[in-house]
Amino acid sequence: MKIIARIVMIGLAGLLVGCETMHHGGGSASSHSESSTASASSGSGSSGGSGVTIVKPATASNHQAGPVEICMETNGYTVEPAKNGVNEGKGHHHLIIDTELPPAGSPIPKDAQHVHMGDGSKCKTLDFGPGVHTIRALFAKGNHVPYDPPVTDAVFIYVTHSN
């Protein structure tokens, strides 16, 4: 039964990652080099190789229930604390957990499904219960309003009961 559940989860994850990439311009789970300065093509996650990538955990990976470290890299954008204000080509990460992206032009809510990383960090450890979970990275300006089109990436993980 566990094998069938994993096969179904991996197939679903592959389908959803493909759809997420098509609709939001997010990267893949492969690694891109971290940008230390904004490029001339900032403002779109789908043009000129700019964007955000979740580099950890890998999509369709299996985890024991409990803490999972999530790490992102940017390409064409500079990560900075929210307190630095709104600066084109710069911003900070947000994690959107098991829900859709917020509407374009709206500030990202702050709750259990919308995790703000306004300190400028690139990794965050979160606890997950058993099941399939969608983790979306969403890069936003200092005012917590995402770029339009969204600069985003997604992975799907499978969390099992801890032994």
- Report how far residue 59's alpha carbon sits from residue 154's, in angstroms, rounded to the nearest whole number: 8
pLDDT-derived band at 161 (thresholds 50, 70, 90) equals confident
Q: Which of 132, 151, 109, 136 is nearest to 24 (CA)?
A: 151
For every residue of 67-133, DSSP letters joined together read EEEEEEEEES-EE--GGG---TTEEEEEEEESSPPPPTTSPPP-BTTEEEETT--SEEEEEE-SEEE
Range from 18-22, 38-42, 66-70 carrying the lowest mean pLDDT: 38-42
Task: Find which of 22-26, 96-100, 159-163 is predicted with most confidence, using mean pLDDT.
Answer: 96-100
pLDDT-derived band at 17 (thresholds 50, 70, 90) equals very low
Supply the DSSP symbol for 144.
S
* pLDDT (average), residues 118-127: 96
Chain CA centroid to CA 120, Å: 14
Tokens representing 152 are: 């985003």
> All domains of the chain, ordered by start, with CATH?
2-160 (2.60.40.10)
* pLDDT (average), residues 134-141: 98
Is pLDDT of 144 > 70? Answer: yes
* pLDDT (average), residues 20-37: 34
Is pLDDT of 40 > 80? Answer: no
Amino acid at 153: D
- pTM reported for the whole predicted model: 0.72
CB 137 within 8 A of CB 77: no
pLDDT-derived band at 49 (thresholds 50, 70, 90) equals low
